[in-house]
Copies of this chain bind each other. A is one copy, B any other.
Amino acid sequence: MLRKNRLFTPGPTPLLPAAQTAMASFTAHHRTADFRALFQRVLADMKDFIGTRNDVLVLACSGTGVMEASISNLTSPGDKVLVLTAGKFGERWTGLAKAFRCNVEVVNVPYGETFSLNDIQTKLTPDVRAVFMQATESSTGVRHDVEGIAKIVRANGADTLLVVDAITGLGTTHLDVDRWGVDFIIGGSQKALMIPPGLAYCAVSERAWQRMETTSSPRFYFDLRKERKSAAKGESAYTPATSLFAALGAALEFIRQMGNGDLSKGREALVNNAELCAEMTRAGVQALGLKLFAASPAAALTAVCSPAGLDSGKIIKEFRESFDAVVANGQGEMKGQMFRIAHIGYYDYLDTIGILAALEHVLTRCTGKAVEYGAAVRAAQEVYAREMSKKRQLVGA
């Protein structure tokens, strides 16, 4: 049977065809009126995509580049910072903060769990210059309580900045950046934006811009004040990844159409879509007797524990060989213990049902035990039908 290569990984994600076309045919030079118009439209639209009035910058790098930018622009060597870590990407914050000589305090919880606000409160002394966290930890599928954490960070005073890596969170999680007081939020192109990797972005609060006036960590390529100054003139400080900008423009247009011409509504629709895909997937895998890894699961991806005694690498391999579907293994110390199915961006009903049906075959083959065909699919369909009926009632009321 024909097999289409499909990504169910938490980035890169399936590409929007309109963005692929835009990318392939774009040839404009970056110091022209044509490109400036695209650049300015994209930066303005990105505010609506993120849901913020703060200035947005888009840089040529992966998400880790903008994570570094938040550290090198917002801290000076010796600054006390608090890192919240619950997985591989939390650990990246620690590595980055140490590389830039911060005095790093850590709230560390085991993979699969999230933070207690009390533990954070205890370590959140007045001298903490910034708190670094993930909105969703892609290595474990956990959703962290950005709103709750923002509340206690804000209560700590204006001298403590909150930096949120929402690389997989943006477009999959409802985030009220400005109202919650998130000072620096980070995203990447290869996630809910449905385009290839190579761009990363951030929205920066006035408090964070003020901080940059006094910090002394070395930065040049990621000097955000320089980027902001250029952006005000419709340009990037250094050569931008023009073809990816063209793809991003097309993706934002698609999201606007999802919101019937309103990009903010499109963002909401995209998040709701991820949430429904995730809920269907959770119901499906649980109907097969599988356990979720995350106590507080994100809509970005569903991390599923491998059945006892079965290396999840076999499941990944079987998905690949039988269906050419790329499902993610666990990362780092979690490798072999879980598989992860993403719902970030460009996924629909057929994708979701199809991968669950495929999982039924995959499990049968990997465990040697018969699975009741259709069990996961039916559970997912029930979630879908219930959701659609709720929606119809809302419209009727």
Contact = CB atoms under 8 A, between A and B. Distances in A.
Interface stretch (A157-165, A237-245, A271-279, A373-381): A237-245
Contact of A29 (B9, B23, B62): B9
Q: Which of A20, A61, A190 has the largest count of B CB atoms less than 10 A from its CB?
A: A61
A366 interface: no
Interface string A181-215: 00000001010000011100000000000000000
Interface in A71-99: 71-72, 95-96, 99
Given A24-B21, A241-B196, A243-B196, A99 B60 contact: no
Contacts of A241: 62, 196-198, 241, 244
Main DSSP-derived SS at the A contact region: loop
A28 B14 CA distance: 9
A217 B218 contact: yes
A100 interface: yes
Contacts of A9: 29, 31
Interface residues of A, number: 55
A101 B72 CA distance: 14
Contacts of A30: 12, 197
Nearest to A30: B12
A7 B24 contact: no
A386 interface: no
Copies of this chain per assembly: 2
B99 A239 contact: no
Interface string A39-65: 000000000000000000000111111
A24 B17 CA distance: 9
Contacts of A29: 7, 9, 12, 326
Contact of A220 (B12, B28, B68): B68
B24 A220 contact: no
Contacts of A217: 218
A27 interface: yes
Given A12-B30, A238-B64, A243 B23 contact: yes
A365 interface: no
Given A241-B197, A326-B29, A220 B100 contact: yes
Contacts of A240: 62, 197
A284 interface: no
A218 B220 contact: no
Interface string A314-330: 00000000000010100
Contact of A61 (B5, B27, B61, B63): B61
A25 interface: yes
Given A60-B62, A99-B219, A100-B220, A242 B68 contact: no
A61 B196 contact: no
A163 to B, nearest CB: 15
Interface of A: 5, 7, 9, 11-12, 14-15, 20-21, 23-32, 60-65, 67-68, 71-72, 95-96, 99-101, 188, 190, 196-198, 217-223, 238-244, 326, 328
18 contacts: A23-B243, A26-B196, A29-B326, A30-B197, A60-B61, A60-B65, A60-B198, A62-B221, A65-B221, A65-B238, A96-B220, A99-B218, A101-B218, A190-B242, A197-B242, A198-B242, A198-B243, A217-B218
Which 4 residue pairs are nearest across A and B when measured between Cβ atoms?
A: A198-B241, A24-B24, A196-B243, A62-B239
